[in-house]
Amino acid sequence: MLLVAVGILHNRLPDLAGTLGISFVAAMQTAIFTKVEGIAYSSVMITGNLRQAIEGLFALMSGQRGSLRQPGIFATLCAAFGTGAAVGAYATKSIPDLALGLPVVALLIVLLCCEIRPNEEGI
């Protein structure tokens, strides 16, 4: 809701207020989206995820036990982050008034996917 408010009021707010609002949402995102398949990751920066992907690949190539699943998860997170950054940069340049709507919609979809639980009883 805060991103929606910042998106609607961005022309009337000082830059500092918009930056603080977006930073607060990023902090909440970091606290809410903490794990993928039980593995801790960062949802707001790529460096730790990239390190985890490379470490996992190195461990596999050096003969240690493990599967390609964990490095694959981190590589996918890095690709998604890069794609999101590219789409965000393009949207900011092409449709600056609506660019903030893209992450709002994406975060809502992810939040809804996290909240929908499969019916375990089969009813």
State the residue for tokens 């903490």. 34
Per-residue pLDDT at 10 exceeds 90: no
SS3 of the chain: helix, strand, coil, percent, to 5: 65, 5, 30
**Residues 42-92: tens digit of each pLDDT:** 988 899 999 999 999 999 988 887 788 999 999 999 999 999 899 989 998
Contact in structure between 22 and 122 (CB atoms under 8 Å)? no
β-pair type (35-36, 39-40): antiparallel
